Every structure is written in C-alpha cells, then in structure tokens.
C-alpha cells in the first residue's frame, strides 16, 4: 500500500509517502506561492526517494480543507490530475483532523483538541476532537469572542493550536482549561497520510470528476479601487 499525500491548505506545501502506514519520505516548503511553484518537484522527489515511480502508487491523498482558497485549489487539482492520469484511487482528508493527529499522542485521553486555521480578522476555521480522533464539534468558521468554546471548556481541558490560535489566546487564555501550544503546528501531509491508510483499508474513495475542496465558506474577491470609491 504505497500512498502519496499532499497538503496545501495554508501558505506553502507538504508531501509525504507512506507504505502500509509507515512514513518513508516527505518534504515541506513554507514560502509564498510554493504550493504552485514547487509542489510537483516535491512530489517527484518524495516518490523517487523511496525507489518508486508515480505509476507505482496505490492511491493519492489530499488535505481537502478548510484552509486557503488558492492553496486548496492547487492541491486538490494536482491530486485529481494525478489520479485521473494514473487511474489511481483518490482520498480526501479533513485538514483539521490531520492537524489534530499531530498533537493527540502527547496528551491523555481526557483532553480535547482544537486545531485552528486563521480565516482573517477574528474568524478561524476550527473543530474539536477527542483523544481517539473522533469529532466532538464539527468543522465550522467561528468568529471568536470571550464565550467561544465555553461549553467544552467548562468540562474539559482543550488544547488550541494552529495559525489561528494565537489571536484567540487573549480571549480564552484566562480559562484554566485552555491550553495554548508554544510549538507552531502547521497542516502536514505526514498525518494526512496516516489517515489515508485508514481510508484506503475501508475503501473510502472520492469521485475524481465531481470532487471539490472543502472551502467551508464562499471565496470573496476584494473590491477594486474603482468600485470602492463608488461605494464611499
């Protein structure tokens, strides 16, 4: 079971190759526009590093979102193109769920986990998972305030992390049950690949032709200077 995983949910890109759930090769590049400029090179290098070719893959997995509109579009389009050209199964993994699995092994089973992706201003894409990776609170766009996540914080310790967590610390940091990680946790193809193995075994595949990224909310194009001046 040789699976190539891709994550372009936020700025930059990440790739990984797993065989039977064991990480063999991977690469991360977190620079502007790297998801479009370097993704193909990272994928080819990761596969070649394990002595394989793209045609040897058994499936291709991608982080489906939420995240950056442009990043998700690049990653999903690339994965779909490979699956179509190589006639391989297509696996899609929730970005936040994959982020949670980077942190879950380091805490006890009573702790909850809330990965957050910055969605600008005081909004974040977030979800809450338990120590088994099961969803406690579904993925949503949350406009943060002092009462956010109150229902879970009243009864559980909750670990907040991701690039959206920093702006939430002033709002929730006084709560004794709120834990904010010092380490920077980014979406990673490594844990996308961990979850992709489970999906492959269960034969949970997506339709290549109809699949769309999980944008969570509509993409809003900034107004032009001309239209802005008319409104004002």
d(C-alpha 113, C-alpha 125), whole Å: 14
Domains of the chain: 2-94+187-201 (3.30.420.40), 97-180 (3.30.420.40)
Report the predicted TM-score, pTM, of the whole model to 2 decimal places: 0.90
What pLDDT is stored for residue 229 in this prediction? 32
Choose among 169, 77, 62: nearest CA to 114: 169
What pLDDT is stored for residue 12 in this prediction? 85
Report yes or no: 7 and 63 within 8 Å, Cβ to Cβ.
yes
What pLDDT is stored for residue 35 in this prediction? 65
What pLDDT is stored for residue 36 in this prediction? 66
What pLDDT is stored for residue 209 in this prediction? 95
What pLDDT is stored for residue 38 in this prediction? 85
pLDDT along the chain (232 residues), means of 10: 96 94 92 73 95 97 96 95 97 98 97 96 96 96 94 96 93 95 94 98 97 79 39 31
Question: pLDDT for 61-76, tens place per residue?
Answer: 999 999 999 999 999 9
CA atoms lying within 13 Å on the CB side of residue 217: 15
Choose among 199, 127, 111: nearest CA to 159: 111
What pLDDT is stored for residue 130 in this prediction? 98
Q: What is the 3-state secondary structure (H, E, C) of the chain?
A: CEEEEEECCCCCEEEEEEECCEEEEEEEECCCCHHHHCHHHHHHHHHHCCCCCHHHCCEEEEEEECCCHHHHHHHHHHHHHHHHHHCCCEEEEEHHHHHHHHHHHHCCCCCEEEEEEECCCCEEEEEEECCCCCEEEEEEEEECCCCCCHHHHCCCCEEEECCCCHHHHHHHCCCCCEEECCCCCCCCHHHHHHHHHHHHHCCCCCCCCCCCCCCCCCCCCCCCHHHHHHHC
């Amino acid at each position: 079971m040789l699976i190539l995983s891709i994550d372009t949910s936020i700025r930059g890109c990440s790739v990984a190759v797993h065989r039977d759930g064991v990480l063999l090769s991977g690469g991360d590049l977190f620079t502007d526009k790297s998801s479009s400029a370097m993704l193909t090179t990272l994928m080819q290098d990761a596969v070649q590093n394990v002595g394989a070719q793209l045609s040897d893959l058994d499936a291709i997995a991608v982080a489906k979102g939420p995240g950056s509109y442009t990043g998700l579009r690049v990653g999903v389009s690339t994965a779909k193109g490979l699956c179509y050209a190589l006639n391989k199964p297509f696996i899609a993994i929730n970005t936040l769920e994959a982020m949670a699995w980077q942190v879950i092994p380091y805490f006890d089973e009573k702790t909850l986990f809330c990965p957050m992706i910055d969605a600008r201003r005081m909004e974040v894409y977030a979800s809450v998972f338990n120590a088994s990776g099961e969803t406690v609170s579904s993925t949503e766009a949350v406009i943060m305030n002092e009462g956010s996540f109150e229902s879970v914080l009243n009864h559980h310790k909750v670990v907040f992390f991701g690039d959206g967590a920093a702006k939430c610390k002033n709002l929730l940091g006084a709560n004794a049950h709120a834990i904010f990680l010092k380490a920077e946790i980014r979406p990673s193809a490594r844990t996308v690949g961990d979850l992709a193995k489970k999906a492959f075994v269960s034969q949970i595949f997506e339709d290549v032709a109809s699949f769309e990224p999980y944008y969570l909310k509509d993409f809003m194009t900034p107004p032009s200077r001309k239209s802005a001046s008319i409104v004002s």
